[in-house]
Amino acid sequence: MTQQITCINCPVGCRMTVTQDDTTKEILSIEGNTCPRGKAYAQQECTLPLRMVTAVIPAEGSETPLSVKTAAPVPKHMINDVMKALQNARVKAPVAIGQVILPDVCGTGVNIIATRPL
Ligand code: SF4
């Protein structure tokens, strides 16, 4: 199996061609990357793709919702679960920037943190 992946690590946006074994999914070749970061990105995308998640949640004592994000990327297949957990999350002002709002969200080992003070 061959697929095209665009590296998002820098503005160059190298287009890479990744070939995997159809049965074992082993990566057989990666072509088109200009630097090692592209190869690492392609390997991650083909094995366990990760994404940052951002959202806003209601805040008691404030008319403005609180913007939050994952402190690190989470597995792409967990995004819906993380968003469901955030739908039920509530905070109460005051909140400091970087404050942990939901620890270990959905068992990912990643915290949800505030991206601004409230
Ligand atoms: S492979 Fe390297 S040069 Fe190409 S987009 Fe990725 S980080 Fe940038």
- pLDDT tens per residue across all 118 residues of the chain: 999 999 999 999 999 999 999 999 999 999 999 999 999 999 999 999 999 999 999 998 888 999 999 999 999 999 999 999 999 898 998 999 999 999 999 999 999 999 999 8
Q: How far is the CA of 82 from the centre of ligand 1 (A)?
A: 29
What was the pLDDT predicted at 93? 87
Q: Are residues 58 and 110 in the same domain?
A: yes
Q: Whose CA is nearest to atom 3 of ligand 1?
A: 34
What was the pLDDT predicted at 58? 93
Q: Which domain holds residue 33?
A: 2-47
Q: Are residues 34 and 11 in the same domain?
A: yes
Q: Whose CA is nearest to atom 8 of ligand 1?
A: 10
pTM for the structure as a whole: 0.81
User: For residues 81 and 79, what is the distance between their CA atoms, to the nearest angstrom?
Assistant: 5
Q: Whose CA is nearest to atom 6 of ligand 1?
A: 38
Does the beta carbon of 9 lie inside 6 Å of ligand 1?
yes
What was the pLDDT predicted at 32? 97
Mind listing the pLDDT tens digit for each residue in 35-61?
999 999 999 999 999 999 999 999 988
CATH label of the domain that carries residue 59? 3.10.530.10
DSSP assignments along 80-118, one per residue: HHHHHHHHT--EES---TT-EEETTGGGSS--EEESS--
Q: Are residues 29 and 79 in the same domain?
A: no
Q: Are residues 104 and 85 in the same domain?
A: yes
How many domains is the chain built from?
2
What was the pLDDT predicted at 62? 84
Q: Are residues 32 and 73 in the same domain?
A: no
Token pair in block for residue 41: 């990105």
Q: Are residues 92 and 66 in the same domain?
A: yes
